[in-house]
Amino acid sequence: MAFIEVRNIEKHYKEIKAVKGVSFDIEKGKVIGLLGPNGAGKSTTISMISTLLKPDKGEVFFEGESILKNPIKIQKKLGIVPQEIALYESLSAYDNLEFWGSAYGLKKAKLKERIKEVAKLIGLEDRLKKPVKSFSGGMKRRLNIGVALLHEPELLIMDEPTVGIDPQSRNHILDTVVKLNEKGMTIIYTSHYMEEVEKLCDKIYIMDEGEIVADGDIDQLVNLVPKNKVFKIGFNKINDDLINSVKNIDGVEDVKIKDGILIIDTNRSEKMINELVDIASLYKLSIESVDIQRVNLETVFLHLTGKALRDE
């Protein structure tokens, strides 16, 4: 029995199917990454897990029990860090921590103690009395996380927690996540930043258009892409003759076009460049840019969906 079992959950809004039959398991103490572009269904999926939304079909089990039948069980042990700064900005950091702590049933001395501990963890102990609206973006994000940790949850869902903040705050947050996981916390982490996911996650689920298109650890996902190199070549003009000629180069598996750039999946070495130059000369074209990439999550994603991870 997994810590969390998601079974064929679906959610639609009028005619749009935001989530179409998603299933996966989460083992206790693991960090799970949920990747996908905007509109993939990530937020809807975690909303259903967090009991914010009710699935139209399917079930979610927490420690073997359906959260639809008994949502309180998961709510008590779940901490949520939404993408938006879900805080009362006109109130102080302390007021926010106090309120949210009490929302999770913490009282009096225990509440005070936890506020102190969390404030130290997120590095805001000397700013507790200040109103949140006076905080920088990074500080707000840290407080956003701190609020979710007050009741010492066993499961933490973090929805793009590092969007729009400075690198220092970002690193602080990532280190915090690592520390929490080392203490045994199970974490569901969604992001656009593949380097974060690569660093933190034990397992990754890639979503697109409401479905999981791939899952596994980094190595497993990278191996989904049969090629280990991707050439991104920018020509001054792309035509059918060019594409056909490139396809005919030995070792080229796949050719795609994105934003006027030719993306070539190949297992060839950098020496293939010479052949590309020859083709360019043949059609009287010029090469404007060259980028050779090793396969990473972005590449995997692109391979699987034809889209980039970040902003379509």
User: Which residues of this chain interact with other proteins, rule CB under 8 A?
Assistant: 50-54, 71-72, 75-76, 78, 80, 82, 84-91, 95, 99-100, 102-105, 107, 131, 147
Are the CB atoms for 309 and 192 separated by under 8 Å? Answer: yes
Closer to other proteins by CB, 84 or 312: give it: 84
Q: For residue 221, give the nearest of 145, 311, 309, 102 by alpha carbon.
A: 309
Closer to other proteins by CB, 86 or 178: give it: 86
Half-sphere exposure of 205 (CA within 13 A, CB side): 22
Closer to other proteins by CB, 58 or 131: give it: 131
- From start to end of 127-269, where are the E strands? 155-159, 186-191, 203-208, 211-216, 229-235, 252-258, 261-266
CA angle 151/204/167 to nearest 5° reads 65
Other residues' Cβ atoms within 10 Å of the Cβ of residue 124: 20
Least spacing, CB of residue 88 vs other proteins, in Å = 6
Least spacing, CB of residue 92 vs other proteins, in Å = 9
Distance (Å, whole) CA 230 – CA 236: 19
Q: For residue 6, give the nearest of 66, 53, 74 by alpha carbon.
A: 66
Distance (Å, whole) CA 275 – CA 99: 65
Least spacing, CB of residue 83 vs other proteins, in Å = 8
Least spacing, CB of residue 236 vs other proteins, in Å = 36
Closer to other proteins by CB, 107 or 294: give it: 107
Q: Which residues pair with 131 in a beta bridge?
A: 92
Other residues' Cβ atoms within 10 Å of the Cβ of residue 302: 21
Least spacing, CB of residue 63 vs other proteins, in Å = 16
Closer to other proteins by CB, 51 or 305: give it: 51
Least spacing, CB of residue 186 vs other proteins, in Å = 16
Q: Which residues pair with 25 in a beta bridge?
A: 5
Closer to other proteins by CB, 95 or 211: give it: 95
Closer to other proteins by CB, 107 or 129: give it: 107
Distance (Å, whole) CA 212 – CA 217: 14
Least spacing, CB of residue 103 vs other proteins, in Å = 4
Helix (H, G, I), strand (E, B) or coil at 11: strand
Closer to other proteins by CB, 95 or 202: give it: 95
Least spacing, CB of residue 78 vs other proteins, in Å = 7
CB under 8 Å to 116, separation ≥6 — which residues? 125
User: Per the structure block, which two tokens stand in for 250?
Assistant: 């030995």
